[in-house]
Structure 1
Amino acid sequence: MNEFYYTPNPHVVHELHTWNFDLLGNTLTFTTDNGVFSKRTVDFGSKTLVENVNFDKIPAGDILDLGCGYGPMGISLAKVHPDRNFEMVDVNNLALSLAKNNAEQNHVSNVNIHNSDVYENVENKFAAIVTNPPVRAGKKIVDAMISGATQHLVENGTLTVVLQKKQGAPSAKKLMKSLFGNCEIIKKNKGYYILESVYNG
Structure 2
Amino acid sequence: MSDDHYFSADPAVPFTRESFPVDVWGHSLELVSGSGVFSRGHLDHATAMLLRELEPPVQGQFLDLGCGYGVIGLAIARAVPLATVTGVDVNERALLLANENARALGLGSRFVAALPDQIPTDMTFDEIWSNPPIRIGKEALHELLLTWLPRLRPEGRAVMVVGKFLGADSLQRWLTEQGWPTTRLASHKGFRVLETRRG
Tell me if both proteins adopt one fold, taking TM over 0.5 as the criterion.
yes
Question: Number of matched residues?
Answer: 196
Confirm whether residue 95 of structure 1 aligns to residue 94 of structure 2.
yes
Change (3 A) 1:151 1:122: farther
C-alpha displacement of 1:13: 6.1
Deviations 1:107-135 (A, max 9, x none): 22311221116xx7352111111111112
Q: In structure 2, the residue corresponding to 1:42 is in which secondary structure?
A: coil
Mapped to 1, the partners of 2:92 and 2:179 lie a distance apart of: 31
Q: Residue 180 of structure 1 contacts residue 198 of structure 1 at CA under 8 Å; is this kept in 2?
A: no
Q: Which residue of 1 aligns with 2:152?
A: 153
Q: Residue 9 of structure 2 contacts residue 36 of structure 2 at CA under 8 Å; is this kept in 1?
A: no
Percent sequence identity over aligned pairs: 29
Q: Residue 18 of structure 1 contacts residue 29 of structure 1 at CA under 8 Å; is this kept in 2?
A: yes
Mapped to 2, the partners of 1:131 and 1:6 lie a distance apart of: 18
Amino acid at match of 2:7: Y
Mapped to 1, the partners of 2:169 and 2:13 lie a distance apart of: 34
Amino acid at match of 1:113: A
Mapped to 2, the partners of 1:11 and 1:167 lie a distance apart of: 33
Q: Which residue of 2 aligns with 1:79?
A: 78
Amino acid at match of 2:61: D
Q: In structure 1, the residue corresponding to 2:7 is in which secondary structure?
A: coil
Question: TM-score, structure 1 length as denominator?
Answer: 0.87
Alignment of 1:1-201 (within 5 A): 1-2=1-2, 3-7=4-8, 9=10, 14-54=15-55, 61-108=60-107, 109-116=109-116, 121-123=119-121, 124-200=123-199
Amino acid at match of 1:110: R
Change (3 A) 1:150 1:135: closer
Amino acid at match of 1:69: G
Amino acid at match of 1:103: A
Mapped to 2, the partners of 1:185 and 1:158 lie a distance apart of: 13
Change (3 A) 1:129 1:167: same
Mapped to 2, the partners of 1:181 and 1:41 lie a distance apart of: 32
Unaligned runs of 5+ in 1: none
Mapped to 1, the partners of 2:176 and 2:80 lie a distance apart of: 28
Mapped to 1, the partners of 2:98 and 2:179 lie a distance apart of: 31
Q: Residue 66 of structure 1 contacts residue 90 of structure 1 at CA under 8 Å; is this kept in 2?
A: yes
Change (3 A) 1:178 1:77: same
Deviations 1:12-56 (A, max 9, x none): 761111121211211111111100000020111112223334566
Unaligned runs of 5+ in 2: none
Question: TM-score, structure 2 length as denominator?
Answer: 0.88
